[in-house]
Structure 1
Amino acid sequence: MPRYALKIEYDGGPFAGWQRQAQGQASVQAAIEAALARLEPGPHTIAAAGRTDAGVHGTGQVAHCDLAKDWNPFRLSEALNWHLKPAPVAVVQAVRVADDFHARFSAIERRYTFRLVSRRAPVTHDRGRVWQVLNRLDVQAMRAAAAHLVGHHDFTTFRSTMCQAKSPVKSIDEIAIEDLPYPGGAEIRFHLRARSFLHNQVRSIVGTLERVGAGSWVPEDVQRALEARDRAACGPVCPPQGLYLTGVGYPADPFAS
């Protein structure tokens, strides 16, 4: 059976997350599998590079599927997008891949971006797509704090108590923080890059860094929280709507033209 990799965008707002839900709640995975069933009969199961939570968005999610027909990749993406309407999900690109390609297990890097807007006036066009705080944050202090988290560490403090990973030890390759203009305020974008992340790790890190930016913590408090290896030492976990899975890296990019 031919295998295809799909690059996928979605607005996570209407969904209970990426993963198909036993209770029948809307999920991104179920929406795509239903579209596949319109193209070829029978149940379909797709595998993704990351299982994003409820409310989390995707601009560079990757999944793979096996189909009976030898589809032209462009026609496949067009047909899927037709059957996905009106769900806020789009297949940006489809490519034929080797039979041993696996969207999750072949990945060597995940990239996330978190969007935070600081301004007094409510956001309108970005409502549901950013986390809004009212006061301006100290970006330099947050960068100093983030430096303590880059590298190979035990991230027990920064993972959900429901995390199913076998080990809390992970390596974060990069945390870059952008300070961008935004009407009436500023937008701060947190870019995180690692081979893999623990459950709620990104949101735990951003929520903690926000405390530093607001002046409630100093950068060294983040190092102490990390070394505590205690979930109770973490700062607040920020809401999901500002989080985006922006890209997945593979030894050879399947989507390279």
Structure 2
Amino acid sequence: MHRYKLTLEYDGTSFAGWQRQDNLLTVQEALETAFTKFCGCDIKVHGAGRTDAGVHATGQVAHVDLPKIYEPFVIGQALGFYLETLPISVIHVEPVALDFHARFSATSRTYRYLIINRYAPLVFQKKRVWHVHGQSLDAVKMHEAAQVLVGHHDFTSFRAQLCQAKSPEKTLDLLTVERKGELIEIHAKARSFLHHQVRNFVGTLKLVGAGKLSVDDVKNILAAKDRTKAGPTAPAEGLYLINVGYN
């Protein structure tokens, strides 16, 4: 077998997430179907991040094992042909060693969350950002509160109830908030994340930006280790997996 690393981008609006599910279209299923048509045999695609329904990617990474050697350009062209009706693009293909694993070899994952903070309705950005209207968010306060969460912590307060991780403890390397006009960008980087962790961060930070929570409140929420104390889960459409790092 011959292993290939794929770098992907996709619009998550049309998919029920990354992971294959019965009777629902997922990114993994779409890719596996395309590879099966290309190779003439069943192919398993392994992703670096199991993005949820509605979550997008500009830098998702996956790997596949193929029965013969192909030029990377040929693989990319074939997948482009078989995926042409779906919002998925294979932007880079390269051969890798058999011990490379898209998920388990990853040393970091970086997500971007986008908020449009304005009164006017959205046209082009619908389903690609969280539209927060009716209140102006203080991105400086949001960034200050975000720094409370950086480092190694028990993130039970920001963990989805159905999270399957063995431990709520994670090390958050970076969490930043920056306003650019009406756009607020939030970046989060860690080796791995709990289920809904980034979206739960954003939901809480939005309350800080709206003046409903203080920086000290966020400290108390983190210390409480209680999901009910934190803010709501932010909508999926504002979240993007933008980079997966490897040593």
- Gaps in structure 2 of 5+ consecutive residues: none
Q: 5 Å matches for 1:194-213?
A: 194-213=190-209
Deviation at 1:143, TM superposition (A): 1.0
Give the deviation of 1:2 after TM superposition: 0.7
| Map of 2:145 onto structure 1 | 145
CA-to-aligned-CA distance 1:80-135 (integer Å, 9 cap, x gap): 11111110001000000001000000000000000000111111100000000112
- Equivalent in the alignment of 1:101: 100
Q: Which residue of 2 aligns with 1:136?
A: 136
Whole-Å Cα distance in 1 between the matches of residues 130 and 156 of structure 2? 24
Q: How does 1:213-228 map to 2 (within 5 A)?
A: 213-228=209-224
Offset at residue 144 of structure 1 (A): 1.1
Partner of 2:126: 127
Name the counterpart of 2:236.
240
C-alpha distance after superposition, 1:43-99 (max 9, x if no partner): 211111000000000100000000012010111111111111110001000000001
More moved, 40-49 vs 119-128 = 40-49
Query: Does residue 226 of structure 2 align to residue 230 of structure 1?
Result: yes
Match of 1:167 in 2: 167
Deviations 1:5-56 (A, max 9, x none): 00000000010000010x2200000000011011112221111100000000
1: CA distance between counterparts of 2:106 and 2:56?
Answer: 19
SS for the counterpart of 1:140 is helix
1:254 maps to what in 2? none
Letter in 2 for 1:245: L
Normalised to the residue count of structure 1, the TM-score between the two structures is 0.95
Cα offset for 1:140? 1.1
Q: What CA distance in whole angstroms lies between the structure 1 residues aligned with 2:178 and 2:46?
A: 32
Instruction: Tell me the equivalent position of 1:250.
Output: 246
Amino acid at match of 2:214: V
Amino acid across the alignment from 1:138: D
Superposed displacement of residue 236, structure 1: 1.0
Tell me the percent identity.
50
1:79 aligns with 2:78: yes
- Residue of structure 2 equivalent to 1:17: 17
CA distance in 2, matches of 1:219, 1:206: 14
Match of 2:48 in 1: 49
> Unpaired runs of 5+ in structure 1?
252-257
Aligned 8 A contact 2:141 2:208 in 1: yes
CA distance in 2, matches of 1:228, 1:74: 51
Runs of 4+ in 1 over 4 A off after TM superposition: none
Kindly provide the amino acid, as one letter, of the partner of residue 235 in structure 1: G
SS across alignment from 1:13: helix
How far off its partner does 1:228 sit?
0.1
